[in-house]
Amino acid sequence: MTTSAVPVATGDELRPRRLTDVFRCNHRGRNLLLATCLDDYMNANALRVKSMVCFECSQGGCNRETFAADADTEGLLDSEIWARLMADMKDPELP
């Protein structure tokens, strides 16, 4: 039996950088996709939902800064970001 293990980023030098990267969330105590972390972190802080564990989360803030820095300076994530935006905006009724 073979199982495909998803690598989990640990340590500061291995911060998640792509939306599909998995890392260990310290506050939730489980592995999360970077995309989920960024969504929850941004929603909790933009909407000021203090009851969410992601509100003012230092790990979420670091993840956001790392992701934004990569996207802005290196341009490595442009195609990934664009593809996700297009998928989110696609009309399900169109072919």
Domain edges within the chain: 10-58+66-89
Tell me the whole-structure pTM to 2 decimals: 0.64
The pLDDT of residue 7 is 55
> 38-68 burial by CB neighbour count: b if 16+ within 10 A, else e?
bebbeebbeeeeeebebbebebbeebbeebe
pLDDT digits (tens, 9 = 90+) for 13-67: 578 888 889 999 999 999 999 999 999 999 999 999 999 999 999 999 999 998 8
